[in-house]
A and B are shown apart, each in its own frame.
Chain A
Amino acid sequence: MRQPKGLCSRPGLVIAATVCAAALLLSLGRVAPAATGGAHQPTASNGTAALRRALNRPLLGGDLTPVRCVMDHYPEFSGVAVDPDHDVVAFSDFNLKSLLLYRRTANVVEDGITQPLTQIIGPDTRCETIGNVAVDPVRREVYTLNADTGDSIMAFPYSARGDASPRTLAVPHGAFAAAINQRRKEIAVSSTAVDIVTVYRLGSAGLTHPIRYIRGAKTGLAVPWGIFWDQQHNEIGVANDGNWWEGDFGKHSARDLNLVRLQGAQNEPRLKAEFRPPSIRIYSGLAQGDVPPLRVIQGPKTRLDWPRSLAVDTAHNLIAVANLGDNSVLIFAREASGDVAPLRIIHGPHTGIRNPTGIAIDSRNSEIWVANFGHQGEAFDLNANGDVAPKRIIRNAPPGTPVVGTNSTMALGYDSKRNQLLVPN
C-alpha cells in the first residue's frame, strides 16, 4: 500500500465479494446486480435498465457514487493475546484497523456481539494494515504491528481508548507478530517481507537499531509469520509459509538495511527463489545473524498448512499452531523436531474454527485462544482434541454476518466468463 518501493501482505482476490486478508487467500465473488452493502448505500444496478439510466445522465468524471460496493462494517479479528494477570484478552482488527480488549471471561451475549472493554481506533493510533497482537502484563501494554504500510510496532496502555497515540518503534517491512521476553526485557519481531526476526529492548521507540537479528540462508526463514519466545528455555519459535527468496536488502529495503546494518546489499535482482514446505523453526533466544535453527518441525506428517501464528506453553510443554490452510489448531510437543505428527488437532464444524490467524495460550487457566480471521474469537480447553465446541466465544458482529475480508487488496481481475471479480488478499 505504500509506494512501489515496498511489498504488501496478504494476497487475495474478490469478485464484488471478499476475501480473507491476513492469509493470502484468493477469493472469488460473483458480480451480482444486487448491492452488497457499504457506507454509501449504492444505488441499485440491474443490467440493462441501470445502463440505460446511466446513459441518460452526464456522469463522466467527478464524484461518482458507486452502484455497488463490497465492504465490511464490522471488525475482522486477526491476532489474539491473553493476559490472565489482568483478566484481559486482546484482539487485533485488520478491517477497521483497531485493537479490541475484552474481559477474559466474556462470552457472547444475546444479540450475538460481545461488548469490548475498550476499542483503540482512529488516525492517531497509526494503525494501518495491522497484523498480530501481543500483551505486556508488567507494563500493562498492548502491542500491534503495521504488517505492510507503516513499518512500525505500536504500544498502547490497557487504559487507552479511541483515537489514542501510541509509542511507536520503526521495524523492518512486513512486521507481522511480536513476542516478549520479560526476563531479558526484550521484544522479538517477525517481518514477513524480508525474512527476518529483529530483537529490541522492551520499551524502545522511534529509530532504534535492533540489538540482534536472525536472518540469512542458514536460518531457513521463509515468510515468517507467527513468533513465540519461550522465556524458560530462551528459545524463539517462528512459523514459516515456505515461499523462499534470496533477499538482498537492496532497493526497496534501504530502510531495513539501515536498521540492521547488513552488509553487501546490492541492487541485483533476487533470482534465487523456491517453494519449500511450511515449517516451525526454533532458534536460540540469543541467536544472531545467519544461524541455523535448533530444531525444525517440517514435513507431511506435521500437517502444517499456512501456519500463521503459534504459541508456547512451558508448563505443559506444548506448542500450539493456528493452521490457517486447513482451519485447524495443531498441538505439538514443545521439543518436537522433524517430520512429526501433532499430538492433537482441534478441527471440525463444532469447533467454529474458520481461517484461524491468531493463537494464544493461557497456562494459568488451561485455555487456548483462537482468533478466526473475521468475526469470532474462541477459547478452548487446553486439552481439547478433535471436533469439540469452544468454552467461550467472543464475537464482533451479529451471528451470520459474512466475512468480507477485502482489506489490503492490491490487485483486481475480472473473469469475463463467470462474471466474477478476482480479488487477491
Chain B
Amino acid sequence: MQPVRTIGGSHTRLSRTIHGVVYNPARDEIVIPSTHAAAILTFPGDASGNQSPLRYIQGPDTRLSEPCGVALDPARKHILVANLGSHAVTVYPWLGRGNVKPVQEIAGPKTRLGSIMGVSYDPEHDVIVVSGSEPALSRARPAIFMFRGTDNGDVAPLREIVGPKTGILGDWHTAVYKGEIFVSVMQSNLIPTYTSAGLVPTYVKYDFTPPIPTYRGVTPRPDLKAVPPSDWVAPAGFVGVWSETANGDVPPIAIIKGVDTGLSHPSSIALNPKQGEIYVVDPGRGVFTFLAPQLFGLGE
C-alpha cells in the first residue's frame, strides 16, 4: 500500500537521517529530529507535502548534538531528546523554539550514557528510559537506562538493564506502557572493528542466542532457540519486554522472535494499547503489526 500522505521536500527542513518521531496527541503535532542539522522540528498532526515546520529548536545553546530519539512528558509539557553526539538527554518545553536552552540535561560519567539512540517516558512512574550503549573505547555494552523524570546533570541511572542474559547486542528504540519497557533489539548487521591503522571492515558473526523467557506461565515454542535464517550476518533481532523494575543482567519477560515474525533486525517500535497491538519496523523488510493483548493487560 502507498502512504496516506508524505511529508517531504526542502521546506520541511528534513534531510538524511531521521532516527526518531513522536506524535503529541495533546497538541495534535508531530515532533521529529533533524539529526544532521541538530534540530527538533514540530509539524502539525495533519502535515503533508513540502510543508514548513510550525517551529524548530536549533542553535548552540540547545546543546543538541546528533539528536535521535524523541519522547514527550505530557505532565510537564516537555520534549525529551536522546543526543547520539553528546551522549546526553536534553529536555525542552513543548513550545520551545530557536536557540533555547534545555531545562534539563542528563549527561556525564555517572550517567554511563554512551552512544544513545532512543528515549521514551513513563508518565505513570515518572521514569525516563534511554536505549543505546555505555561508553567504551572499543565495543560499547548495549544497555537500557532508567532515570527519574526530574533528573538533571551528572546523575547515576535509577536502574540499568545490561549484560549477556538480556540477549541485547544492539538496541535502538523503546516504548513504555504501565511499567513495562518494549525494546526493539535490532542487534546489528555489521559490527565494525577498528585497529590503530584504520577501519577493518570485518563482518562479525556472533554465536549467541538470548535466553528464552517464560512470561506469565506461557512458554514459547521450544524451537525458538534456533537463530532463524537471515540475509544479514548478525543474529536476528527481536522485540523484548522488560519490567521497569528490572535491574542488571536480566532476561526479558516476553519476546517476539522467530522465523514466523518476519523480523530480521527491528529498529523501532510503537504501541497501541487500546487495540492490543505492537507496531514494529524492520529497516530491511517493512512494517509489522503484532496482536498481543495480554501484554497490555487486556483480557485479564
- What separation, in Å, do the CA atoms of A60 and B86 have in the docked complex? 37
A10 interfacial by beta-carbon distance below 8 Å: yes
B18 interfacial by beta-carbon distance below 8 Å: yes
- What separation, in Å, do the CA atoms of A45 and B276 have in the docked complex? 11
A9 interfacial by beta-carbon distance below 8 Å: yes
B235 interfacial by beta-carbon distance below 8 Å: no
One of B73-81, B151-159, B251-259 contacting the partner: B251-259
- What separation, in Å, do the CA atoms of A223 and B221 have in the docked complex? 46
- What separation, in Å, do the CA atoms of A10 and B6 have in the docked complex? 13
**B residues apposed to A, CB below 8 Å:** 1-23, 25, 28, 30, 32, 34-39, 45-48, 50, 58-60, 63-66, 68-69, 83-86, 88, 114-117, 132-133, 140, 142, 170, 172-173, 186, 188-192, 194, 197-201, 213-216, 218-221, 223-224, 231-233, 254-262, 265, 267-272, 275-277, 279-281, 283-295, 298-299
The answer to whether B261 and A413 have CB atoms under 8 Å apart is no
Residues on A with C-beta less than 8 A from B64 are 271, 273
One of A11-19, A287-295, A335-343 contacting the partner: A11-19
Residue of B nearest to A65 (CB): B260
The answer to whether A28 and B5 have CB atoms under 8 Å apart is yes
- What separation, in Å, do the CA atoms of A295 and B232 have in the docked complex? 42
- What separation, in Å, do the CA atoms of A67 and B261 have in the docked complex? 10
- The 8 A CB mask of A53-86 against B (1 = contact, 0 = none) is 0110011111111111111100000000000000
Residues on A with C-beta less than 8 A from B284 are 1, 97, 407
- What separation, in Å, do the CA atoms of A325 and B216 have in the docked complex? 50
Instruction: Determine which residue in A1, A241, A324 has the highest number of CB atoms from chain B within 10 A of its CB, and name it.
Output: A1
A421 interfacial by beta-carbon distance below 8 Å: yes
Residues on A with C-beta less than 8 A from B232 are 123
10 smallest A-B Cβ distances: which pairs?
A11-B18, A63-B258, A62-B220, A71-B286, A27-B3, A269-B65, A26-B7, A273-B38, A424-B18, A25-B8
The answer to whether B17 and A325 have CB atoms under 8 Å apart is no
The answer to whether B199 and A207 have CB atoms under 8 Å apart is yes
A220 interfacial by beta-carbon distance below 8 Å: no
A353 interfacial by beta-carbon distance below 8 Å: no
Residue of B nearest to A34 (CB): B1
Within 8 A of B (CB), among A326-366: 326
Residue of B nearest to A414 (CB): B270
A136 interfacial by beta-carbon distance below 8 Å: no
Please list 11 pairs of residues, one from A and one from B, whose beta carbons are closer than 8 Å in the complex, sorted by A's number: A3-B188, A5-B192, A25-B6, A40-B260, A64-B258, A270-B85, A271-B63, A273-B37, A402-B2, A411-B21, A412-B279
**A residues apposed to B, CB below 8 Å:** 1-5, 7-20, 23-31, 36-40, 42, 45, 47, 50-51, 54-55, 58-72, 97, 123, 128-129, 149-152, 168, 170, 174, 192-193, 207, 209, 223, 241-245, 251-252, 254-255, 258-259, 269-275, 277-278, 304-306, 324-326, 402-418, 420-425
- What separation, in Å, do the CA atoms of A39 and B220 have in the docked complex? 22
Looking at chain A's contact residues, the main secondary structure is loop
The answer to whether B270 and A421 have CB atoms under 8 Å apart is yes
- What separation, in Å, do the CA atoms of A343 and B113 have in the docked complex? 52
> Given the known A-B contacts A13-B21, A418-B45, are A409 and B283 also in contact in the complex, defined by CB atoms under 8 Å?
yes
The answer to whether B2 and A18 have CB atoms under 8 Å apart is yes
Given contacts A7-B35, A150-B190, 20 further A-B contacts (CB under 8 A): A1-B190, A1-B283, A7-B16, A11-B32, A23-B8, A26-B14, A29-B2, A29-B3, A38-B288, A39-B262, A58-B294, A60-B215, A64-B258, A258-B198, A269-B88, A324-B8, A324-B9, A412-B268, A417-B45, A424-B21
Question: Which residue of the partner chain, among B28, B37, B231, B294, contacts A274 with CB atoms under 8 Å?
Answer: B37
Residues on A with C-beta less than 8 A from B257 are 62-63
- What separation, in Å, do the CA atoms of A71 and B22 have in the docked complex? 22
Residue of A nearest to B82 (CB): A4
Tell me the smallest distance from the CB of A130 to a CB of chain B, in Å: 12
- What separation, in Å, do the CA atoms of A421 and B280 have in the docked complex? 10
Question: Which residue of the partner chain, among A61, A255, A422, contacts B215 with CB atoms under 8 Å?
Answer: A61
- What separation, in Å, do the CA atoms of A415 and B22 have in the docked complex? 8
